Amino acid sequence: MDAVDATVEKLRAQCLSRRALGIQGLARFFRRLDRDRSRSLDSGELQRGLAELGLVLDAAEAEGVCRRWDRDGSGTLDLDEFLRALRPPMSQAREAVIAAAFAKLDRSGDGVVTVDDLRGVYRGCAHPKVRSGEWTEEEVLRRFLDNFDSSEKDGQVTLAEFQDYYSGVSASMDTDEEFVAMMTSAWQL
């Protein structure tokens, strides 16, 4: 294991010790550090941020972590890729139940879930804000979809985005059985 992998493993262990709030909390923390909203951090920003979390890196270690996830040669750390890498890998059972839930939502079968797909599966008319007249049923479905959409809320959720969302949930659940039972119940599979 090289130094960058060892650093990532330390950070992953720290996140997992915080259970469900670990990686999601880290994502919020890194987004606050990203003052220019570029969705990336330079090695100095990363080093300062990790030090706040109690993980002290020297400059070379921080630069190594940034280089590992520098997809465009900018010298910065891509936050989405980094956060994905921190999540522990999911088992085939977990991936399969996520795919089944996505397939249930993707009524058109085109590999993308939209509000139109949701209309075929859910009715938002019972939502309290629809009943009060504050939101329309369309708004309820859109906000629901936004939970799974990437940071760029385009109204379309791909399987990768859906998996990304549930990989964060998965990291907080100890057993495959617990995760599969939760997904089966939540999505009525």
Tell me, yes or no, whether 141 and 97 share the same domain.
Answer: yes
Tell me, yes or no, whether 124 and 59 share the same domain.
Answer: no
Tell me, yes or no, whether 154 and 112 share the same domain.
Answer: yes
Q: What is the count of structural domains for the chain?
A: 2
Average confidence score pLDDT of the chain = 83
Tell me, yes or no, whether 78 and 100 share the same domain.
Answer: no
The model carries a pTM of 0.69
| Last residue within a domain, chosen from 41, 65, 86 | 86
Residue 72 is part of which domain span? Answer: 3-86
The model's pLDDT over 47-83, given as tens digits with 9 standing for 90+, comes to 888 888 777 888 888 888 888 777 778 888 877 777 7
Contacts 24+ apart (CB under 8 A), 140-144: 141/115, 142/115, 144/118
The model's pLDDT over 3-41, given as tens digits with 9 standing for 90+, comes to 777 777 777 776 666 554 456 667 777 778 777 778 788
What is the rounded average pLDDT of the residues 163-177? 84
Tell me, yes or no, whether 159 and 76 share the same domain.
Answer: no
- CA distance linking residue 164 with residue 45, whole number of Å: 24
Residue whose token pair is 């990790």: 50
Burial of 41 (C-beta count, 10 Å sphere; 0-12/13-18/19+): buried
Tell me, yes or no, whether 82 and 158 share the same domain.
Answer: no
Tell me, yes or no, whether 74 and 98 share the same domain.
Answer: no
| Last residue within a domain, chosen from 86, 105, 135 | 86
Tell me, yes or no, whether 52 and 35 share the same domain.
Answer: yes
Tell me, yes or no, whether 97 and 73 share the same domain.
Answer: no
**What pLDDT does 77 receive?**
81
pLDDT band at 178 (very low <50, low <70, confident <90, very high): very high
Tell me, yes or no, whether 72 and 134 share the same domain.
Answer: no
- CA distance linking residue 89 with residue 178, whole number of Å: 16
**What pLDDT does 24 receive?**
63
The model's pLDDT over 92-141, given as tens digits with 9 standing for 90+, comes to 999 999 999 999 999 999 999 999 998 878 888 888 998 999 999 999 99
**What pLDDT does 22 receive?**
56
CATH code of the domain containing 111: 1.10.238.10
Tell me, yes or no, whether 43 and 65 share the same domain.
Answer: yes
| Last residue within a domain, chosen from 86, 112, 136 | 86
Read off the DSSP letter of residue 90. Answer: P
Tell me, yes or no, whether 156 and 178 share the same domain.
Answer: yes
